[in-house]
Structures are given as C-alpha cells and as structure tokens.
Amino acid sequence: MEVAEEVISDYYKITTSQWKRYRYDIRTLADLEENEITDGAFAQILRYAKPPDQRLRGSEPGDYFKICLQDHVIRQALRRDPHIRFLPLSTYIITHELVHVVRFASFVQKFHTTASEQEAEEKTVHALTHRMLQGRKIQGLEDVLQAFTDLRRMEKLYAVN
C-alpha cells in the first residue's frame, strides 16, 4: 500500500494532507460481507453513500470507496502462475485500484457508466498503472507488468447505499 500511495502521489502530485480527501478503505476477504465477494476479479470497488446526518461537516463528501481484495482469486493466480510473486502482484493490484479511487473522487471519471465506458476506463487505468510502476525496483514486478499487457479486467465496480 505504501508503494502504491507513493507512486500515485508522485504521478498526480498529491500531498500527504491531500490524501485525506480520497476516502477509501482496503479490506481483505476476512473482512468482507458476502455481497462484497466475487470469484471473477482480484479486487472490486464498491462505493458507499453515507447519509448527510452521519457527516462530520456539511462540506465533507458523503461517498467513500471500499477496495475489496479477493484473496482467494489472488492465491489462485499465484498457484496458476508460480513465476508471479505476491509482493509485486499486490503492489500492481492496489496501485490500480487507488488510481480508480483518485479518478472517481476527483471526478475525472464517473463511477456509473456503460459497459463500453467501463472497458475504456479499465484500459486507461491499466496504462496509467503500468506507467507509474515501470522502472520501480521491486523484484518480480516486470513479470507482473508483462502479465497485464493484455489489459485483463481486474475489478468490478458497484455502488451501495
């Protein structure tokens, strides 16, 4: 997570204090509700809406994004592709998801879109993630970057009220 936040901070010029406006949480399988689990992606992003009466300040955004890591899918991929290592794969996944969060929270990309718009967003985010991570000194990262050159879909996006 630290690597992901660092590369995104460098790319988007986000300061430590500015990260506070990107309301997100990252959870693993053990902490997920049944409706937050999927077998078809490494992660999925859910957008939760907080009612106005639960806000601390009137100007505080009510939405936050929950990145739901799908441990079982990640483990399955690591077993299937033994040359892929956990640290570089998880770095890629979390960086990818946080790029989505930044784009949604800063209104660069709408959360609710058509299937073709989602596919275009995935291609954009994969390209950004690749650009941000390329050249980073993480053993095994090049194997992960190579694995995602075909722009496989990594997550599903859902809004929850």
pLDDT digits (tens, 9 = 90+) for 15-60: 888 887 778 889 999 999 999 999 988 999 888 876 444 555 444 5
Give me the domain span that covers residue 78: 2-160
Strand partners, 160: 48
Q: What number of H helices and E strands is found in the chain?
A: 5, 4
Question: For residue 111, which of 160, 50, 51, 144 has the smallest C-alpha distance?
Answer: 160
Q: Hey, what are 14's tokens? A: 């986000």
Kindly state the average pLDDT of the residues 115-141: 86
pLDDT band at 129 (very low <50, low <70, confident <90, very high): very high
- Burial class of residue 30 (count of CB atoms within 10 Å of its CB; 0-12, 13-18, 19+): exposed
Q: Hey, what are 146's tokens? A: 């190579």
pLDDT attached to residue 154: 42
Q: CB-side exposure of 90: number of CA atoms within 13 Å?
A: 15
Question: Is pLDDT above 90 for 147?
Answer: no
Q: Please tell me which residue, 134 or 17, carries the higher pLDDT value.
A: 134
pLDDT attached to residue 135: 87
**Would residue 92 be called left, alpha or beta, if left means φ above 0 and alpha means ψ between -120 and 50 degrees?**
alpha
pLDDT digits (tens, 9 = 90+) for 62-81: 678 889 999 999 999 899 88
Q: In the sheet that 24-27 helps form, which strands lie side by side, from edge to edge?
A: 24-27, 63-69, 43-49, 157-160
Taking the C-alpha atoms of residue 12 and residue 40, their distance in angstroms, rounded to an integer, is 29
Q: Hey, what are 61's tokens? A: 């955004």
Question: For residue 73, which of 156, 158, 157 has the smallest C-alpha distance?
Answer: 156
Kindly state the average pLDDT of the residues 126-134: 92
pLDDT attached to residue 103: 86
- Model-level pTM? 0.81
Q: How many domains does the chain have?
A: 1
